[in-house]
């Protein structure tokens, strides 16, 4: 093994970047950067039936959006390429043949029907299904007989009997597996294409991968991969299996789970900020020193260590993610937030697809009005609904406010003060409110609440002078008149 830290993220191109995969990529990236090592992206595309067109580009675009970069991959190359499994088939064939020649692998001619029958019989006896080893020791004659029938074989790895496989894991310590529980596993399919558990070992060895950092769901692959390393006499990398990610109900998360938004691209579309997603994912199974929860990517790079990665399950707390994103939204540049919010206004037809400078400035002020409240950009349409309504509807609470005996006088006077304004800016509106207070003698809730309810239909909301300014004089006067007529 090279002394240099070299880690890899090796997704299959089967769709968008899942949050579990994003966490694995992030942990690998952070470890590499914290150790001055290299981070490699390798595309494991040997399962051709599951591959999705453009998935590789989408995966990498999502990682770029998160701010994760890499040192070697399919796009920029590197000294150990190619970095796509299907472009490495000749390499794999050489090593598969080596195991066959050494008797560490063998051809298996069992059909799918025979394998299925074998599994069913094992299950009926209460046994865990595994390959029986029927073709482990075929003679040359038996092999030729199968081939004469046109049966194409798979290649199986010959798992040593009665041994233990020891996995050194940086998170879990020593983990032992019994070879009796593993069974001879397929390393090459009938078409000659290697399986994941074989290809990944060859690639990790040839690319000098020092650490394999991934989720706990891959722990069951580790003994098979370790056996292949040992069969070639290669040094194993250090494994590190991070905790499972549970859903908010503390159940194991599946891709069909609708309680969580599961793909990075969806968060991007909703207007989450990538630095918040990174911060949140880093804390899913890793704990920093101290109580601080908000970290930049650079701070994470300097603090990350495998020693603080937990084996206890991590709960994907959607409320915590919304809170964390809100912390970043509050500090974000208003131009950036406006650009994130505009597509959501436009999608719902609240703003045109092409905005004039005046319309853009109005939208920017509207977003700024709700910046403190907004958890992510898509929320802006619901938060700002009152700015796009023709008429206000009142509920029981707001009707009660408008029934106050002072309300007609307050609304009438405020309407007069607004009518006299030359400029409809927040400072002028504040002055009109003070003039209304002076003229009516009303103050506090008795002054402000009727105005807020009449103009917005709400008892709580953004800073009132700014909201009134953005609504515009005509809309506000219409709503004041409507409220007086209640």
Please identify which residue in the block is written with the tokens 């020791």. Answer: 137
Residues 6 or more apart in contact with residue 131 via CB below 8 angstroms: 108, 115, 118, 156, 183, 184, 185
Residues 6 or more apart in contact with residue 445 via CB below 8 angstroms: none
Q: Which residues are catalytic?
A: 255
How far is the C-alpha of 58 from the C-alpha of 53, rounded, in Å? 10
How far is the C-alpha of 204 from the C-alpha of 187, rounded, in Å? 16
Give the helix ranges, DSSP H, for 352-444. Answer: 357-369, 380-383, 396-402, 407-419, 426-440
- CA distance readout (Å), 413 to 221, 398, 432, 435: 76, 20, 9, 9
The total of other beta-carbon atoms located within 10 Å of residue 288's CB is 16
SS (H, E, C) 93-137: HHHHHHHHHCCCEEEECCCHHHHHHHHHHHHHCCCCCCCCCCCCC
Give the helix ranges, DSSP H, for 207-317. Answer: 222-232, 264-270, 274-282, 297-303
Judge contact between 295 and 288, C-beta under 8 A: yes
Residues 6 or more apart in contact with residue 265 via CB below 8 angstroms: 16, 17, 58, 62
How far is the C-alpha of 335 from the C-alpha of 53, rounded, in Å? 35
Residues in the chain: 486
Cis, peptide link before residue 398, omega less than 30° from 0: no
How many helices (H) and strands (E) in the chain? Answer: 20, 11
The beta strand positions in 429-484, using DSSP E, are none
């Amino acid at each position: 093994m090279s002394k240099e830290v070299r880690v890899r993220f090796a997704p299959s191109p089967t769709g968008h970047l899942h949050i579990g995969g994003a966490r694995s990529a992030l942990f690998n990236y952070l470890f590499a950067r914290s150790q001055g090592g290299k981070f490699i992206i390798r595309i494991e595309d040997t399962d051709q039936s599951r591959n999705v067109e453009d998935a590789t580009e989408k995966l990498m675009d999502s990682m770029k959006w998160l701010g994760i970069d890499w040192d070697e991959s399919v796009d920029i190359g590197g000294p150990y390429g190619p970095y796509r499994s299907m472009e490495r088939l000749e390499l794999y064939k050489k090593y598969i043949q080596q195991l066959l020649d050494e008797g560490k692998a063998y051809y298996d001619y069992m059909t799918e029907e025979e394998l299925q029958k074998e599994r069913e019989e094992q299950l009926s006896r209460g046994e865990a299904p595994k390959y029986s080893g029927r073709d482990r020791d075929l003679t040359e004659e038996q092999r030729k007989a199968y081939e004469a029938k046109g049966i194409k074989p798979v290649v199986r790895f010959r798992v040593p009997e009665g041994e233990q496989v020891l996995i050194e894991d940086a998170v879990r310590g020593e983990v032992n597996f019994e070879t009796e529980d593993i069974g001879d596993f397929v390393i090459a399919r009938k078409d000659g294409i290697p399986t994941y558990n074989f290809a990944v070992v060859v690639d990790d060895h040839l690319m000098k991968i020092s650490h394999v950092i991934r989720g706990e769901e891959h722990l069951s692959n580790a003994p098979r991969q370790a056996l292949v390393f040992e069969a070639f006499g290669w040094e194993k990398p250090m494994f590190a299996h991070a905790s499972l990610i549970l859903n908010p109900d503390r159940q194991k998360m599946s891709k069909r789970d609708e309680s969580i938004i599961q793909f990075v691209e969806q968060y991007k579309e909703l207007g989450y900020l990538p630095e918040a997603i990174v911060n949140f994912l880093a804390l899913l199974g890793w704990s920093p020193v101290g109580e601080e929860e908000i970290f930049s990517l650079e701070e994470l790079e300097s603090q990350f260590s495998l020693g603080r990665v937990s084996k206890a399950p991590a709960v994907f707390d959607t409320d915590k993610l919304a809170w964390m994103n809100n912390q970043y939204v509050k500090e974000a540049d208003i131009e950036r937030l406006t650009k994130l919010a505009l597509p959501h206004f436009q999608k719902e037809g609240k703003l045109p697809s092409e905005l004039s400078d005046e319309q853009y400035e109005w939208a920017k002020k509207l977003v700024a009005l709700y910046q403190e409240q907004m958890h992510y950009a898509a929320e802006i349409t619901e938060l700002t609904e009152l700015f796009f309504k023709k008429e206000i509807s009142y509920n029981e609470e707001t009707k009660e406010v408008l029934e106050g005996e002072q309300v007609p006088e307050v609304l009438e006077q405020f309407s007069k003060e607004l009518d006299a304004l030359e400029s409809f800016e927040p400072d002028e509106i504040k002055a009109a409110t003070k003039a209304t207070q002076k003229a009516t003698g009303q103050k506090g809730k008795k002054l402000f609440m009727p105005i807020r309810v009449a103009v917005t239909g709400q008892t709580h909301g953004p800073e009132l002078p700014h909201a009134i300014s953005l609504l515009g004089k005509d809309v506000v006067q219409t709503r004041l008149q409507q409220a007086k007529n209640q």
